[in-house]
A and B are shown apart, each in its own frame.
Chain A
Amino acid sequence: MTKIVVVDDESLLVDVLAFALEDEGYEVALAYHGKMALELILAAPPALVITDFMMPLMTGLELAQDLKARPEYQDLPIILVSGAQGALARRHPELFAKVFDKPYSLPDLLEQVLKLAGPA
């Protein structure tokens, strides 16, 4: 089963996305801030990370920077889904495989998920 880590402090959004991914057959692990996500990822590396930007303790940007600084995570694709920092994130194409602005279209996101993580 292909595993995806979804990170967002806004639990309702993370729940909606998690249900959609599970419906597609993916295994989903949820985190509510960057620190929690980092722990999850290091414990069991996923095929893809989908993260929010503004979160407590560690932002999406900081999470991506931390992961990309580790040689073993160079190729881990990260999708950023952001309310207001889309432009800021796009300045870091080396960190994010794709940036979505909220509100985003779920089919578009799922299409990218398939492209980056492969089939469920």
Chain B
Amino acid sequence: MVNRLKRLKSNVPGLDDILCGGFVEGASYILRGRPGAGKTILANQVAFSQAREGNSVMYVTLLAESHERLFEALSTLDFYDAQHVGSNMTYVSLFQTLRSEGLDAVVTMLRKEMARRNPTMLVVDGLLTARDAADDSLDVKTFVAELQANAAFSRCTILLLTSAQPGDASPEHTMVDGVIELHEDYVGARTSRRLQVTKSRGSGALAGLHQYTITQTGMAVFPRLEALLAHPSMLDAAPPDRLASGVDGLDDLIGGGIPVASVTLAMGPSGTGKTTLGLSFLKLATPEQPAVMLGFSESPQRLLRKATAIGIDLESLVASGAVTLLWRPLTESLADKLAYELLDAVAAVNACRVVVDGYSALERTILDKTRIVEFFSALGNELKGRGVTLLATWETRNLFGLSAESPTPEISGIVDNLLLLQQHPAGADLRRVVGILKIRDGVYPSSMYEIAVGHGGLHVRGKFDVSNPSVDELRAPAPRVE
């Protein structure tokens, strides 16, 4: 029988998923990152979570920095709770012991202190200081080994913090059970913080670099979506049903509606009606079959106004719980964080319809461009597994004409249905047209159709005839503005 190791949950959002359940109880980990990367916050966040559960934590510093400054900084974070400090959490400095008596004395002191306190978790901050104090690498390895031996009695989990640079030869890494590295890189002008488990003995771990943030609530890690959801959490039942698109006249052309549990990508330049298409799709949501919309450009207020202008009562849909609006301005967003927020919102209401306006904005938040196809595959598969019918938009650059420009051809390959929205000059007029490029399991016409924005959203007006510009009868009624 395979032995399952007991876990000590970090309760740092995302980290336990990456560690496949948490730290292994009684194991030792090195936490490595440059100053400012968040090692101390991470270690304290885990420590306070242990303390809250009533466990005993020992936090030992080998640094000159005072604990008072540490508490001052920590007290600005939500997880800090002074009532544990000095009761079941003890912060001691062994800087002086290390300086005057060396590593052996530190071990002796730690051994006595651990026997007194019987901690379930020991944090040692300043392993690099210990390395500097050691005569050779063997000393540090012995130091780590002795700590582990002492900790083993009480199944105490050890976190060793070091500001050694990733890539440095660190002989002590061979001694520990796990190594977690915190990386800080720059993508253009922005900082990208990523966590990586480079060693994990006796346990799996989600490989690769996972983005993390540090905010008032502490550290939150966002496991790479394609790694955590390599397989969707629920199996796509591939239902044969169709879902009304909300676009007047479209469903008849595509076999009765959009296939349920599918991903539809509506590509087109600015002004072709992509958001209006999304609103048309949303208007059919009900409290029983709700919808979620993730938008990046229009704020909820602007979106409500836009909907009102075309006769869609989005405000009531939101008020009744039929539609949940998530607005995430396209600033310094993280793709994985956005994806988890969307999935959480979908799970919260058990949504049937989802609009992402747009996928192109979401793509911009993927800092590592080699991930694009994998990221969208994972997101699409997960949504489909949950029975969601997704309508996503993609903003293209060519403003006019019937040319199809797919910025990333692979994206079109991983979606089920593909619509192309364009503005086409016809005489002095610009006509909105839609082309149906692909419908999963469907028969559909290979034609361009003229569409118009009218009351209730988009309407398909009939086949677009470029040779006959005088199709006044195809014009939509003027939008009603209330």
- A residues neighboring B (CB under 8 Å): 9-14, 32-33, 53-57, 59, 82-85, 88, 102-103
Q: B109 to A56, Cβ gap below 8 A?
A: yes
Judge whether A84 and B99 touch: CB under 8 Å.
Answer: no
The DSSP consensus for interface residues of chain A is loop
* Bound-state Cα–Cα, A10 to B87, Å: 19
Contact between chains at A11 and B82 (CB < 8 Å): no
Contact, CB under 8 Å: B92 / A54: yes
Q: Are A84's CB and B82's CB within 8 A?
A: yes
How long is the Cα–Cα vector from A1 to B60 in the complex, in angstroms? 36
Chain A nearest CB from B76 CB (Å) reads: 15
Q: Which residues of A contact B68 (CB under 8 A)?
A: 13, 83, 102-103
- Asked whether B94 is an interface residue with its Cβ less than 8 Å from the other chain, the reply is yes
Tell me the minimal C-beta distance from A100 to chain B in angstroms: 12
Known contacts A13-B66, A83-B68: A56-B86 contact under CB 8 Å: no
Docked CA distance A103–B67 (Å)? 11
B94 in complex: contacting residue of A9, A14, A103, CB < 8 Å: A9
Q: For the complex formed, measure the closest distance between the CB of A58 and the CB atoms of chain B, giving whole angstroms.
A: 9
A102 CA to B288 CA in the complex, in Å?
57
Annotate B82-98 by CB proximity to A: 1 below 8 A, 0 otherwise. Answer: 10011100111111110
* A85, B85: Cβ atoms closer than 8 Å: yes
- Contact among A12, A33, A54, A103 for B91, CB-based, below 8 A: A54
Whether the Cβ atoms of B112 and A10 lie closer than 8 Å is no
B92 near A11 with CB under 8 A, answer no
**A32: nearest chain-B partner, CB-CB:** B96
- Min CB distance A61 to B, Å, is 9
Other contacts beyond A33-B92, A54-B91, A57-B109: 19, CB < 8 A = A10-B66, A10-B67, A10-B95, A11-B64, A11-B96, A12-B66, A32-B97, A53-B86, A54-B86, A55-B92, A56-B94, A56-B109, A57-B113, A83-B67, A83-B71, A83-B85, A84-B82, A102-B68, A103-B68
Bound: A53/B67 CA distance, A: 12
CB distance from A59 to the nearest CB of B (A): 8
- Pick from A33, A53, A84: contact of B71, CB below 8 A: A84
- In the complex with contacts A57-B109, A57-B116, A83-B68, A9-B92 CB distance below 8 A: yes
Q: Which 5 A-B pairs have the closest CB atoms?
A: A11-B96, A85-B86, A84-B85, A9-B93, A56-B92
Majority-rule SS of B interface residues: helix
B385–chain A nearest beta-carbon distance, Å: 48
Q: Which residues of B contact A33 (CB under 8 A)?
A: 92, 109
Chain B residues bordering chain A, tally (CB within 8 A): 24
Name B82's closest neighbour in chain A (CB-CB). A84
From residue 388 to 412 of chain B, which have CB atoms closer than 8 A to chain A? none
> Is the pair A84, B86 in contact by a Cβ cutoff of 8 Å?
yes
Contact status B67-A54, CB under 8 Å:
yes
Q: Is the CB–CB distance between A11 and B93 below 8 Å?
A: yes
Shortest C-beta distance, A87 to chain B (Å), equals: 8
Which residues of A have CB within 8 Å of B95? 9-11
Q: Considering only CB atoms, which chain A residue lies closest to B99 in the complex?
A: A11
Which B residues touch A59, using CB under 8 A? Answer: 86, 90
Q: Which residues on A sit within 8 Å (CB–CB) of B86? A: 53-54, 59, 82, 84-85, 88
Which partner residue on chain B sits nearest A102 by CB separation?
B68
Q: How far is the CB of B91 from chain A (nearest CB, A)?
A: 5
* Contact between chains at A57 and B112 (CB < 8 Å): yes
Q: Mark contacts of B225-246 with chain A using CB atoms, 8 A cut-off: 1 yes-contact digit, 0 otherwise.
A: 0000000000000000000000
B71: chain A residues at CB < 8 Å are 83-84
Proximity string of chain B (105-122) to chain A, C-beta cutoff 8 Å, 1 when within and 0 when not: 000011011001000000
Query: B82 to chain A: which residues have CB within 8 Å?
Result: 84
User: Known: A83-B67, A83-B71, A103-B68. Is A54-B96 also a contact (CB below 8 A)?
Assistant: no
B85 touches A10 (CB 8 A): no
Expressed in whole angstroms, the Cα–Cα distance for A82 and B90 within the complex equals: 13
Most buried by A among B82, B96, B97, B109: B96
With both chains docked as a complex, state the minimum distance between the C-beta of B166 and any C-beta of chain A, in angstroms: 29
CA–CA, A14 and B99, complex, Å: 15
A105 to B54, CA, bound (A): 35
Query: What residues of chain B lie closer than 8 Å to A103, measured between beta carbons?
Result: 68
Residues of chain B within 8 A (CB-CB) of A13 are: 66, 68
Name the residue of chain B whose CB is nearest to the CB of A12: B64
CA distance in complex: A33, B91 (Å) = 12
Taking the closest CB of chain B, its distance from the CB of A112, in whole angstroms, is 19
Chain B CB within 10 Å, residue with most, of A10, A32, A82: A10
B383 to chain A, nearest CB (A): 47
Report the bound CA distance from A55 to B87 in whole Å: 12
